[in-house]
Amino acid sequence: MRIGVFGGSFNPIHIGHVELGRWLVAHRCVERLWYMVSPQNPLKADRQLMPEALRLELVRLALEEDNDLVASDFEFALPRPSYTVNTLAALREAYPQHEFVLVVGEDNMACFDRWYRTDEILRHHRILVYHRPGYATHTLPDGCEWVETPLYDISSTAVREAMLRADYNGEYLPPAVWKRLSEENK
């Protein structure tokens, strides 16, 4: 089975993340998409994250109606910080029957040269890159390809900032995620 690995902090997961996954599966880019909740992104070490168990719970809530979109805590058992190259190697070892394809946004490709052991990632995996607002990465390394998904102009950062407003109503969040976050903030 061809499984897409969509790693991220998902701090919190929003409808753009979910719709992207639905699009990738519907257009047969991958057969299933695993949302790999990262306990700690080494390139974002100074950022405040919601507790990892809560972020995983929110991803599960957001995906509960989509059988081909899967919340994964696979990285929780791996050494930290979470390096993609190590996660992918561990996935190949744990699930040799699957082909793993990395799914990243154009924003992440803009700093791909700062990732740990990118040569090894490219040697073993295809990378699907989707467009992000405000980025103009025109050429991709060999082994990477553009997927022309709809453009989702939403970010977790913008959602977190909006959540600080008293009048925020859960816009851009799946309803189950907003309900859970509302309970958390009581």
Q: Are 14 and 61 in contact (CB under 8 A)?
A: no
Q: What angle do CA 172, 181, 59 make, to 5 degrees?
A: 70
Which tokens in the block code for residue 70?
A: 């899967």
pLDDT at 47: 65
Report the mean per-residue pLDDT for the chain.
93
In whole angstroms, give the CA distance from residue 112 to residue 24. Answer: 21
* The predicted structure's pLDDT at residue 135: 83
% of the chain exceeding 70 in pLDDT: 95
More confident position, 137 or 168: 168
- pLDDT at position 81, please? 85
Alpha helices in the chain (DSSP H): 15-26, 52-63, 84-94, 106-109, 118-124, 156-163, 175-184
Other CB atoms within a 10 A radius of the CB of residue 44 amount to: 12
What mean pLDDT comes out for the span 157-165?
92
Amino acid 186: pLDDT: 62
At 107-120, the pLDDT tens digits run 899 889 999 999 99
Residue 64 dihedral angles phi and psi, to the nearest 5°: -60, -20
Strand partners, 128: 103, 145
**Res 152: pLDDT:** 86
Lowest-pLDDT choice from 119-123, 128-132, 152-156, 169-173: 152-156
pLDDT in tens, 34-73: 999 998 766 665 568 899 999 999 999 999 999 999 999 9
In this prediction the pTM is 0.94
Q: What is the pLDDT of residues 80-95, one digit of tens each?
A: 888 999 999 999 999 9
Q: What is the pLDDT of residue 139?
A: 85
pLDDT at 13: 98
End-to-end CA distance of the chain: give it in Å, rounded: 42
Query: What is the percentage of the chain residues whose pLDDT exceeds 90?
Result: 80
Separation between Cα atoms, residue 62 and residue 52, nearest integer Å = 15
Phi, psi of 118, rounded to the nearest 5 degrees:
-60, -30
